[in-house]
Every structure is written in structure tokens, then in C-alpha cells.
Amino acid sequence: MRPLAVVTGASRGIGKGIALALASAGYDLAGLATRPDPDKQSEGLYAVKAEAEKRGASFQVLAGNIAALDEHQAWIDTLLERFGRIDLLVNNAGVAPLERKELLDMSPESFDRVLGINLRGPFFFSQRVAVTMKKLLEEGREIEPKIIFISSISSRIVSTNRAEYCVSKAGLSMAAQCFAMGLASSGIPVFDLQPGLIGTDMTSAVKEKYDALIAEGLVPAQRWGTPEDVGRAVVALAQGGFDYSTGAVIEIGGGMGVQRL
């Protein structure tokens, strides 16, 4: 029986890269998106579903906003009814500010929106999934559960024109540490993956700016990262070789976060 991976924000960008990498690695998938549209077969979550199924995966579409805490248990119940298991949770769903504003101009509304989706929602969804994983283990189910948080290099590198995003990712990184310590004795490894500059639709608006910075040496690897780079890292963690490294923080940034003189 194929293990089941839950990927939030799976309809595009990094989430799509993760979902397809896991499908190729032998996982069934549950993909969450805010507004999946079955009429859109060339893009969005149903396009990801079709690609995953070509790779042999069963795929459950989950519709909803990760910030809506009262929806979380219904998603879990749907997965248990269909698959009877949850082996991997990848907390990838996240948003940028609707408008980049400097620190002193940022609004409470923007702060609350970003923190609700990027931190509060993933924290409490992880809480419910972790409770479910522990219960499955206690019942003797043959699962090897893991939780991966996709935070960001922005958890450590400041952008004052999107402070709410940086704060949310710093909080998510600490959430990963808390869950790693809280679940270690239960045999549930937890990891924090921190992407750097990844080429997606979220970063397309600033591509020209960062193209120039990459050329000037911002990224030692001298290129943008790709969703596939993140997907390969998720698969490596999911396959169990790093289970004793629970709590590990892994940058996927081409060396961007390494301090240099």
C-alpha cells in the first residue's frame, strides 16, 4: 500500500513541485488549495492531480483555506475514510503580502492575513494531524509518520518591505522546532525546510530585481532555485534517511544563507 502525503498549497509553485516529486517517489497524495476548479485542467490543483495520477498516485482534492481552523478535522476525516492513514504532512501553504509596504506603513490587516495563513493555520493543522498520527501508531498501523514545515530563508534574512512575511516564516520555523521536540518521543520526525530564491509565480514580480542580485553574487550557486529542488529535498526526508535528525533546519538556497566575508 502506498503511503499518503498531505501537501498544503499544492496547486502551483513549490507545492506542485513537492506533490509531483512525492508522486514519483511512490506516495499517494492529498492536495489542499483554496479554490480548486475542476474545469481548469491545464493549471491549478486538478492539473496537478492529473500529473500525479500519471505517475501512479491516487490523489484526493481538498478545498479550503488553511487559516479556517474549523475545516481541519473534516479534511482529516476525509483522508482517513479514503486511505486509512496519513504518513506525511508538508506544510507548504503560504502567501505574500497583497502589497509590499515598508515597515512603518504595513497595516494590521495585512499582518493578520499573512500570519493567519502562513503560521496560525499550519500550526493548528499540524496539531490535529499529529494527534491523528499518534493515534494511528497506537493502533498498530504500519505508518512512518513525518511532518515537514516549508518556512523560508526569510525567517532569518530581513526584508523590511514585507515584514509580516518574515515574521510569519520566523514563527513557522520555531513551530517546527516545537513540534520536533514535542513529537520526538512518539517517533514522529519533524523538519524545517527553508527555500531561498525559488522561481515561482509568487516571485515573478521581483524577478528582474533578483536576477541582478544573483548576477552580483547574492546566491553562490548563481541561479534561481526551482520547485523541483524543494521537491527532491522533501522526498529525501520522507524516505526516512534523516529520521534521527528530527528538528533539522535545511536551507534550499544555493548557499544564499551562508555568512561570508
Q: Which residue numbers are catalytic?
A: 165
Distance CA 180, CA 117 (A): 21
Angstrom distance (rounded) from CA 124 to CA 102: 29
Whole-number Å distance between alpha carbons of 114 and 120: 9
Nearest Cα neighbor of 154 from 162, 142, 146 is: 162
Are 229 and 198 in contact by the 8 Å Cβ rule? The answer is yes
3-state SS class at 137: helix
CA distance 11 to 19: 9
Cβ contact 91:125 at 8 Å: yes
Quick one: which H or E segment has residue 195?
Answer: strand 190-195
> How many other C-beta atoms can be found within 10 angstroms of the C-beta atom of residue 103?
12
